[in-house]
Amino acid sequence: MKVGIIGASGYSGELLVKLLLAHPHVTLAAVTSRSQVGKALSQVIPALRGFDKGLKFVDSDAAALSKSDIDLFFLALPHGAAAEFAKVLVAAGKRVIDLSADFRIADLATYERYYGKHHAPELLTQARFVLPELTPTGWKNDVKLVAAPGCYPTSILVPLVPLLSAGVVSREHIVANSYSGVSGAGKKVDEMYLYVERAESIKAYGLVKHRHLAEIEEQIALRTGTPAIIQFNPHLAPMRRGIATTITVPAAADGTIESLYAAWHSAYAGRSFVQAIPSGETPDTAHVVGTNRVDMSAVFDPRTKNFVITSVVDNVVKGASGQAVQIMNLWFGFSETAGLV
Amino acid sequence: MKVGIIGASGYSGELLVKLLLAHPHVTLAAVTSRSQVGKALSQVIPALRGFDKGLKFVDSDAAALSKSDIDLFFLALPHGAAAEFAKVLVAAGKRVIDLSADFRIADLATYERYYGKHHAPELLTQARFVLPELTPTGWKNDVKLVAAPGCYPTSILVPLVPLLSAGVVSREHIVANSYSGVSGAGKKVDEMYLYVERAESIKAYGLVKHRHLAEIEEQIALRTGTPAIIQFNPHLAPMRRGIATTITVPAAADGTIESLYAAWHSAYAGRSFVQAIPSGETPDTAHVVGTNRVDMSAVFDPRTKNFVITSVVDNVVKGASGQAVQIMNLWFGFSETAGLV
Amino acid sequence: MKVGIIGASGYSGELLVKLLLAHPHVTLAAVTSRSQVGKALSQVIPALRGFDKGLKFVDSDAAALSKSDIDLFFLALPHGAAAEFAKVLVAAGKRVIDLSADFRIADLATYERYYGKHHAPELLTQARFVLPELTPTGWKNDVKLVAAPGCYPTSILVPLVPLLSAGVVSREHIVANSYSGVSGAGKKVDEMYLYVERAESIKAYGLVKHRHLAEIEEQIALRTGTPAIIQFNPHLAPMRRGIATTITVPAAADGTIESLYAAWHSAYAGRSFVQAIPSGETPDTAHVVGTNRVDMSAVFDPRTKNFVITSVVDNVVKGASGQAVQIMNLWFGFSETAGLV
Amino acid sequence: MKVGIIGASGYSGELLVKLLLAHPHVTLAAVTSRSQVGKALSQVIPALRGFDKGLKFVDSDAAALSKSDIDLFFLALPHGAAAEFAKVLVAAGKRVIDLSADFRIADLATYERYYGKHHAPELLTQARFVLPELTPTGWKNDVKLVAAPGCYPTSILVPLVPLLSAGVVSREHIVANSYSGVSGAGKKVDEMYLYVERAESIKAYGLVKHRHLAEIEEQIALRTGTPAIIQFNPHLAPMRRGIATTITVPAAADGTIESLYAAWHSAYAGRSFVQAIPSGETPDTAHVVGTNRVDMSAVFDPRTKNFVITSVVDNVVKGASGQAVQIMNLWFGFSETAGLV
């Protein structure tokens, strides 16, 4: 099976290239970039020296690509641009996994409230947000176009959705504080992201209406049947990769730490990429960086009657490219963990 | 005026040495350490090479020190040990500023619930917790023994107390997430604090009953007249110094962002070391590291009706040694900012 | 084919576990540790949660292991201890790849000058130092016991040996400055390796007779036919992994940048794990961390008539565990790059 | 005495502002910036919140400033721009300390070979490169315009010049490897200086003809009477501030470690900002960051007959703004250490 990556100059694109080059069941047949056409992959991604299989960047020409023999395309493009490519590729019968926000939001009005005008609203009905451990499995046959989840939403939805579904926690007073490595901002060349500015520094940003709220709250409503409003506070932390999320949520009247873990174990039985670790131990971003996992744990605070839940992911792997590969594995019937750890 | 430091081998002790050596109004007359007796200060604290004024470490002998002509002692010792020294020095008529937890808690039972047996409970009535911007000014004449506040409490009490006092915020559902640089753990030689373990890593710890809760909640009750229970979630972040605290608290029925800032401006008018920055800007630990400041801001979230408050301090300066020097400045009638920035 | 790892609690041991668990051609059948017996791998190495294939640590019992059906053992032990295990395993007919220094030095007197008494000198004739790109291929059939090279030596020998052999560079005035990430010190719990001490800090150490000199100079003599004395200056740098080595060496009378690159291309044709990059570009540790590569380049300085050569490796991969896997691949006839990138 | 700073938006300018605001003997009367006119200092330099004494940025208008009552100007501008301002200010009788390269090189041809056209060559005879511990003291009365040294040159000249002067070391085969924190590149907004690119990364750059060679070699010739050619290899290291330089130099025929230290002690007797630490200990950038010191030590290698000398400085303090303040202190008769540590 042949796959292609459209737009591979950012951090997610680079990692997709690495994962797909090493994947046991697919052939990376095309990698595109408007600015790097003709260059060897390893010229642009030096970490691939000796291991780029001779591939060169080709132009991001949607029409040409739609006529190729490539079965599946990954879009690692800014939102807006992704929709334009998806339109052409889906029309040509290609399957598409989009890493941008363009098809993460089912409700057009919500999308436009957070992101502005949508460039392919007609595709929304054919698209599906797939967080593999949460999305009901039927999606595999239904769709042509899959939206891979955002990094913050993955770190919040994975621990929270089963608890809301099981009624273990309150739907009110949910507070999620997330701390992201700087790669979360992409390869944006801005004074704010200079080494000297970010090393040894933590700051909040994007308060109080970060774009990822749109998919967090829509997914909670869709997956649990009832809306919830989340206080989501994102921050930048002095590390390259990783997200650490700490969620405080009141226990439901009959919610206990045992029922919380029972809800997790029930939701994630047999899922290697979600690990509920014992209450009292806390997950560490360093343990998941480079992996496609979510590690999470919870503790009950008898003074406040809250659960404090901590979860960690690698924003570029489970938060982006690794999850996209996991989606491909499931979609095409490969082992869920093929090419991933 | 002569001052002494008892126990100067940790990070707070080192900084105290630097601040007091450079202070315009006092003479650092003795620095003690059981393990370093006879060594030049700069042998143990290489950052002081050429600037240690020829001082050598002397033994931590409370009896001998209590007979010296030193007016004021700073205790930079573990809790428990501090109480032992305070007993002897206070009995000899010396003034003492204690950086440990031993005299931060007025209520003995609370102290012993969090820290175990107290070694000088008879001193509790003569001691006072002094967070200069919050403690009513009368303390200067009343006391012989001052407890300098902890680092996390400083980052939480400074923004929160005036808002609770003014009734701008709820007393319920208060969630404080704090992220501390690794120096917050002191110079503890443990695998957990190795460079390789902590670089590029965030993790929660001490959930759900961190010792600093004792002073946070006691001070809230004392300063605002009513208790509040805080959900306090401490974390380790990959930086040497700095604490970033993000507090989520429901707005009171008539609490607005304007009334919040008004409460802050009223409480901290003329206080250089507390800076309320405009709503919409967020404080950054990098801006306060090396300074004795608290920078803080707040934003109202119309979706959740919460305020999100962020504050930053240098855990070793405003969170420890700088605040101790500020206390000295006020106690002895120097300019509050003497020897500090 | 079954493999075992003896001593897996350090950074090299951990990486070996990961590489061998994921290796396409071998089964990791035993992992030992005196202190962790009975624990699941993922309890001790949390990065493996969900991916430890149910393995538990067993005791480091050489006699028992020598009777098992395991074909190959990796020793990830301190020097001295490694020799003790090698003795028993080799006597039982097992093949052994040792990551310690015990069998890196062919000359016993040299070993004992740098490391003290050798615990299995009788094995020296059966052992071989194998740096796959430099050691003549005959070793595969000759030996029972392979010493995997040290990290610094790998970063120095790979660029230097072909140039000395080809007579492109002088044998005098060779200066190698190396900067290592902190994992190079292993998981040693010492104040020097605390996060607060090492972050934002560079310092030299081990001047002027670092133990790695023994294997650097012996290999130069063995591989190039003539001794050379190296000025080797190791340093600690504020990063977790990676070594950056900069070698200054006078050009030989007829040495040109073209002849230098020709020597490299001739020595390393077809070797994916050694990448000579164009003169004028410089390698970056970030490009090789996580890979088994050496990236290197050189430039001629017409003012000094020196070549300045820079090379980078991941100290734990090509400098330890990755290279050990590469040795296994070659020894057992697998693809050289199997299980590695 | 009133001082002004022209161009204060870079890292050196920011530090100059801090040092001069806190200086006991001068009043900072003007801070200019083309892009920030009218803003409070603390809006642009948030670390100064509460401590900017109400100062606002004024326009960088050389003519207007030359008519002010300010006695001394610091130029923290790019080279080229500095010369233009110096011309106007010196003509108006002002004293000037320039932190750029414009007046560091006495020889015009050398300047233009490294930097291109000089914009005020007529001032070269009135200017003086002053590295306070090395420049003969007569300069104080001779000059109107002082060039503060570069960061790398400071770390190399301070240890090396006395040894060359005393004949303790060879003039040949001198190799200086320097590793600089990222602030050495200034606040340049370029992909190369992004956090994600520089964290956990070391790489060489600027091989083999870095601009700082011009002043290093000219100063060696001027100060020691004979030229020497230096192999200077600069690198970027993952830290914000600090330079670690390691110099390898053959011992002269009768050069011993004792004579080396004797030369240092003789050259730097009574100079607080240069600290020769014992052979066998090595300086650490972390010990000098935030200070105006050079720490250095040396060791003799009996195998190679080289001295290995290591020196550390804070590139922004002793390597730039601190040294400029030290120059001011000496020029105006203040204590050399006033306002510095």
Please give the pLDDT value at position B340.
96
**B204 with A179: Cβ contact below 8 A:** no
Question: Does residue C189 lie in a domain region?
Answer: yes
Residues B112 and B163 in one domain: no
The Cβ of residue B241 has, within 10 Å, a number of other Cβ atoms equal to 26
pLDDT one-digit tens code per residue, D122-140: 999 999 999 999 999 899 9
Residue C174 sits in a domain whose CATH number is 3.30.360.10
Q: What 3 state SS string does A182-240 have?
A: HHHHCCCCCHHHEHHHHCCCCEECCCCCCCHHHHHHHHHHHHHCCCCCEEEEEEECCCC
Question: Does residue B135 lie in a domain region?
Answer: no
Tell me, yes or no, if B46 comes closer than 8 A to chain D by beta carbon.
Answer: yes
Residues D183 and D247 in one domain: yes
List CB contacts (< 8 A) between A241 and chain B.
200
Residue among C30, C151, C220, C251 flagged as catalytic: C151
Beta pairing class for A306-313 and B174-180: unpaired
Question: Does residue B326 lie in a domain region?
Answer: no
Residues of chain A with pLDDT under 50: none
Chain-centre distance for alpha carbon D121: 21
Tell me, yes or no, if C140 comes closer than 8 A to chain A by beta carbon.
Answer: no
Please give the pLDDT value at position A9.
85
User: To the nearest whole angstrom, how far is the Cα of A233 from the nearest Cα of chain C?
Assistant: 27
**B341 with D22: Cβ contact below 8 A:** yes
Tell me, yes or no, if C59 comes closer than 8 A to chain B by beta carbon.
Answer: no
Is the pLDDT reported for residue B139 higher than 90? Answer: yes
Question: With bands split at pLDDT 50, 70 and 90, how would you rate the model's confidence at B208?
Answer: confident
- Using CA atoms, how far apart are residues B60 and B182, in angstroms rounded to an integer? 27
Residue of A nearest to C268 (CA): A50
**What residues make up the domain containing D13?**
2-129
Please give the pLDDT value at position D142.
81
Question: Does residue D256 lie in a domain region?
Answer: yes
DSSP state of D294: E
User: To the nearest whole angstrom, how far is the Cα of B182 from the nearest Cα of chain A?
Assistant: 11
Tell me, yes or no, if D35 comes closer than 8 A to chain A by beta carbon.
Answer: no
Question: Does residue D333 lie in a domain region?
Answer: no
- Give one DSSP letter per residue of D235-289, joined into a string: EE-SSSS-EEEEEEEEBPTT--HHHHHHHHHHHHTT-TTEEEPPBTB--BHHHHT
Catalytic site includes residue A151: yes
Tell me, yes or no, if B288 comes closer than 8 A to chain D by beta carbon.
Answer: yes
Q: Which pair of structure tokens corresponds to residue D162?
A: 């006395």
Residue of B nearest to A171 (CA): B304
pLDDT one-digit tens code per residue, C236-272: 999 999 999 999 999 999 999 999 999 999 999 999 9
List CB contacts (< 8 A) between D286 and chain B.
47
Residue among A48, A75, A123, A151 flagged as catalytic: A151
Residues D125 and D163 in one domain: no
Query: If you average pLDDT over residues D14-24, what whole number do you get?
Result: 97
List CB contacts (< 8 A) between C207 and chain D.
282, 299, 301, 308, 310
Residues A283 and A197 in one domain: yes
Beta pairing class for C230-236 and C203-204: antiparallel
Phi, psi of B245 (to 5 degrees): -115, 135
Question: Does residue B87 lie in a domain region?
Answer: yes
Please give the pLDDT value at position A324.
98
Residues A173 and A239 in one domain: yes
**B193 with C197: Cβ contact below 8 A:** no
List CB contacts (< 8 A) between D295 and chain C.
none
Residue of C nearest to B236 (CA): C195
Tell me, yes or no, if D186 comes closer than 8 A to chain A by beta carbon.
Answer: no
Please give the pLDDT value at position A142.
81
What is the b/e burial string over B112-132, where b = at least 16 CB atoms within 10 angstroms of the residue's CB? eebbeebbbeebbeebbbbbb
Please give the pLDDT value at position B142.
81
pLDDT one-digit tens code per residue, C138-179: 899 889 999 999 999 999 999 999 999 999 999 999 999 999
Residue that finishes a domain, picked among C78, C96, C129: C129
Query: If you average pLDDT over residues B144-165, what whole number do you get?
Result: 98
Residues C159 and C262 in one domain: yes
Is the pLDDT reported for residue B94 higher than 90? Answer: yes
Residues D108 and D48 in one domain: yes
Is residue A140 within a helix (H) or strand (E), and if so which, with residue range? Answer: helix A139-142
- Using CA atoms, how far apart are residues C176 and C233, in angstroms rounded to an integer? 6
Residues D11 and D76 in one domain: yes
Tell me, yes or no, if A66 comes closer than 8 A to chain C by beta carbon.
Answer: no
**C199 with B11: Cβ contact below 8 A:** no
Q: Chain B 295-314, CB below 8 Å of chain A: which residues?
A: 299-301, 303-304, 306, 308, 310, 312
Number of domains in chain A: 2
| Chains linked to D by 3 or more Cβ pairs within 8 Å | A, B, C
Tell me, yes or no, if B320 comes closer than 8 A to chain D by beta carbon.
Answer: no
Please give the pLDDT value at position C336.
97
Question: With bands split at pLDDT 50, 70 and 90, how would you rate the model's confidence at B209?
Answer: confident
pLDDT one-digit tens code per residue, C71-117: 999 999 999 999 999 999 999 999 999 999 999 999 999 999 999 99
pLDDT one-digit tens code per residue, C295-310: 999 999 999 999 999 9
Tell me, yes or no, if A54 comes closer than 8 A to chain C by beta carbon.
Answer: no
Please give the pLDDT value at position C18.
97
| Chains linked to A by 3 or more Cβ pairs within 8 Å | B, C, D
Please give the pLDDT value at position A210.
87
List CB contacts (< 8 A) between D198 and chain A.
195
Is the pLDDT reported for residue C208 higher than 90? Answer: no
Residue A92 sits in a domain whose CATH number is 3.40.50.720
Query: If you average pLDDT over residues B200-207, what whole number do you get?
Result: 96
**D273 with B49: Cβ contact below 8 A:** no
List CB contacts (< 8 A) between D200 and chain A.
240
**Residue positions of D annotated with a catalytic role:** 151
**B199 with C199: Cβ contact below 8 A:** yes
Residues C187 and C288 in one domain: yes
Please give the pLDDT value at position D241.
98
Range A102-105 contact pairs with CB under 8 angstroms and sequence separation of 24 or more: A102/A147, A103/A127, A103/A128, A103/A129, A103/A145, A103/A146, A103/A147, A104/A129, A104/A147, A104/A149, A104/A150, A104/A153, A104/A214, A104/A215, A105/A129, A105/A214, A105/A215, A105/A218
Residues B305 and B213 in one domain: yes
List CB contacts (< 8 A) between A200 and chain D.
240
pLDDT one-digit tens code per residue, A307-323: 999 999 999 999 999 99
| CB pairs A-C closer than 8 Å | 50
Is the pLDDT reported for residue B41 higher than 90? Answer: yes
Residues D76 and D165 in one domain: no
Residues B83 and B164 in one domain: no
Contacts of C277 (CB under 8 A, 6+ apart): A46, A49, C283, C295, C296, C297
pLDDT one-digit tens code per residue, B250-299: 999 999 999 999 999 999 999 999 999 999 999 999 999 999 999 999 99
pLDDT one-digit tens code per residue, D180-219: 999 999 999 999 999 999 999 999 999 988 899 999 999 9
Question: Does residue C337 lie in a domain region?
Answer: no
Tell me, yes or no, if A242 comes closer than 8 A to chain B by beta carbon.
Answer: yes
**D287 with B47: Cβ contact below 8 A:** yes
- Using CA atoms, how far apart are residues A17 and A33, in angstroms rounded to an integer? 12
Question: Does residue C270 lie in a domain region?
Answer: yes
**C194 with B182: Cβ contact below 8 A:** yes
- Using CA atoms, how far apart are residues A128 and A144, in angstroms rounded to an integer? 9
Tell me, yes or no, if C198 comes closer than 8 A to chain B by beta carbon.
Answer: yes
